Structure 1
Amino acid sequence: MTNSLLKRSLIVATLLGVSSLLMLSFIQRFTISIPNIQSQCLETTMFIVDKHDKDIQPGDLVAFTFNKDDPHFDKGMSFIKIVAAKSGDSVSVSQDELKVNGQKVGIAGMRHVVNFLELNPSDYEYDVVVEENELFVVGETIYSYDSRYWGAIDTSTILGKAYAIF
């Protein structure tokens, strides 16, 4: 083997090794999420989830494991929603609007889901203070089934901060 062929082989091997390490680091930290067609709660169709970033604030997208007893979704499913409120925030829910600390949050109303699932509308008109280690999460379309229906999520269920790609 000539000296220049050996150098090229070492360079290629080094580049492959470095590329593999970078790819492994990326895969360990991030997940690509593509919601199924039935999950029409957000306008975005593809997300990247940073599994190491769990510093979630209102307005952020959050990926979490659904751990509620619910007739419409199984425990253990992964969801991505928008954080509307954090621990200590006051939330007021009605069919037509959501208020956090007295400020209206610009999301779609609940009438479509309430009618589609044949729910009692009066069951979803309430005021609550988000408890310690919880987040109140919502979607942005009329199809969103979220904390307004099943309550706040526990921060221990957070998979990471999500970022919209498409």
Structure 2
Amino acid sequence: MNPERKKAAAIVLLLFPCLYFVADLFISRFTLSIPSSDSQCLEAKMFLVDKSDKNIKRGDLVAFKFEKEDQYFEKGMSFIKIAAGLGDDRIEFTPETIKVNNSKLTIKGMNHVINALELNSANYNQKIRVKQNEIFVVGETIYSYDSRYWGSINKDSIIGKAYAIF
């Protein structure tokens, strides 16, 4: 083997463990998420989830395990939604609007899902206060099935903060 090939082989042997170490660190902290449903609740098509960051603020995207008993989704499924309300926030919503601490959010209404699931729209005129250890999550499309239907999520079910990639 000529000296240049030996040098190149030595560089590759040195770089490979470094690249492996960096990739392993990335994978241990982050995961890519692609929504599995055709009826997405968020506009983005792919997300990066930081599993080490669970410090969620209002407006952040949050990845979580669905821990509710629900006839439409299995317990333990993963979701990504917008953190609309945090502990002690006041949420007021109707099928057409949602307010957090008296500020109106620009979130699509609930009528599409209410009609598709044949639900009683009168059940979705509510005023609630989010508990300290919970987060009220919503989607941004007409297809979103979220906390307006099944209540807030517990902070213990958070996987991490999510970021829309595209």
The answer, yes or no, to whether TM exceeds 0.5 is yes
Give 3-state SS (helix, strand or coil) of 1:37's partner.
coil
Partner residue, 2:136: 136
Partner residue, 1:69: 69
Partner residue, 2:82: 82
User: What TM-score do the two structures reach when normalised by structure 1?
Assistant: 0.95
Partner residue, 2:40: 40
Residues 119-159 of structure 1: per-residue CA shift (max 9 Å, x gap): 11111111111001100000000110000000000000000
Share of identical aligned residues, percent?
54
Name the CA shift for 1:76/1:132 in 2 (closer, same or farther; >3 Å). same
Alpha-carbon deviation of 1:10? 2.7
Q: Does 1:151 align with 2:151?
A: yes
Partner Cα separation in structure 1 for residue 39 and residue 10 of structure 2: 48
1:15 is matched by which residue type in structure 2?
L
List gaps (5 residues or longer) in structure 2: none
Partner residue, 2:23: 23
Partner Cα separation in structure 2 for residue 71 and residue 123 of structure 1: 17
Structure 1, 5-14 or 21-30: larger mean CA deviation: 5-14
Give 3-state SS (helix, strand or coil) of 2:54's partner.
coil
User: What TM-score do the two structures reach when normalised by structure 2?
Assistant: 0.95
Alpha-carbon deviation of 1:9? 2.9
Give 3-state SS (helix, strand or coil) of 2:13's partner.
helix
Superposed, 1:48-127 pairs within 5 Å as 48-127=48-127
Alpha-carbon deviation of 1:39? 4.0
Alignment RMSD, CA only? 1.3
Partner Cα separation in structure 2 for residue 127 and residue 37 of structure 1: 29
Alpha-carbon deviation of 1:59? 0.6
Matched residues, number: 166
